[in-house]
Structure 1
Amino acid sequence: MTRIMILAAPALMLILPGCIARTAANVVTLPVRAGGQVVDWSTTSQEESDRNYGRKMRKQEAREARERKKEEQRRRRECREAGYGNCG
C-alpha cells in the first residue's frame, strides 16, 4: 500500500496543480462573470424590447376590439329600442 502511494504521489503532483490553477482562475473570474450577469439582467436587448412592444400592441388591439364590439352592441340595442327596423 505504501509503495502504491509513493508511486502515485508524482502523478498526483502533476494533476493537482492543474486543478488548483483552474480553481484559482474560476475564483478570479467569478466577480467578472457575476457582474456581466447583473448587467444582462438589468438591460433589455433589442429582441426583448421588440417582443415586449409586440405583446403590448396585441393587448392594446384586443382591448380596442372589445371596446368596439361593446359600442356596436350598444348602438344596435339603442337603435332597436328607438324602433328602427334596419339596425344592422
Structure 2
Amino acid sequence: MRRFLPFVAMMPLLTGGCLGTVGKVVTAPVRVASKAVDWTTTSQSEADRNYGKKMRKAEEREGRERKAHDKACKKDPANCGPYEGYRAGNSEPKD
C-alpha cells in the first residue's frame, strides 16, 4: 500500500491536462447539438431583421414604380389616373 501512495499523490499533477481534454470531449455532443438547434431556429431579432429587410425592398420597389408612373403622367397627363400599382404593404397591386 505504501508503494502506491506516491503514485496516488502524483495523479492530479500527471493528469492535469488530460482532465481538461476529457471534459471537452464529454461536453462536445451537447455543444454540437446546441449549435444545430441554433442553426435550425430563427431568433426574434433575426426575424425582425429579415422582416425589416423585406419591407425596405418593398418600399424601394413601390418608390421606383411611383416614380415611373409620375414620369409617364408628365409625358401624357390626359391619360394619367391615380397610382394603382404596387404598394409596399400589399403583396399584389389592386385591380
Structure showing greater radius of gyration is 1
Segments of 5+ residues of structure 1 without an aligned counterpart are 1-11, 83-88
> Which of the pair is proportionally richer in helix?
1
The percentage of aligned residue pairs carrying the same residue is 51
Match of 2:84 in 1: none
Q: Deviations over 1:20-52 (max 9, x none)?
A: 111111111101101101111111100010011
What one-letter code is carried by the residue in structure 2 that aligns with 1:28?
V
Match of 1:58 in 2: 56
Using the TM superposition, give the Cα deviation of residue 15 of structure 1 relative to its aligned residue in structure 2, in angstroms: 2.6
Select the residue among 23, 32, 35 that pairs with 1:34.
32
How far apart, in 2, do the equivalents of 1:16 and 1:37 lie? 33
TM-score normalized with structure 1 length? 0.71
Select the residue among 58, 64, 67 that pairs with 2:65.
67
TM-score normalized with structure 2 length? 0.66
Using the TM superposition, give the Cα deviation of residue 54 of structure 1 relative to its aligned residue in structure 2, in angstroms: 0.6
Cα RMSD (Å): 2.3
What one-letter code is carried by the residue in structure 2 that aligns with 1:15?
L
- Aligned pair count reads 72
Match of 2:45 in 1: 47
Higher relative contact order (CA 8 A, sep 6+): 2
SS, match of residue 28 in structure 1 = helix
Displacement over 6 Å in runs of 4+:
none
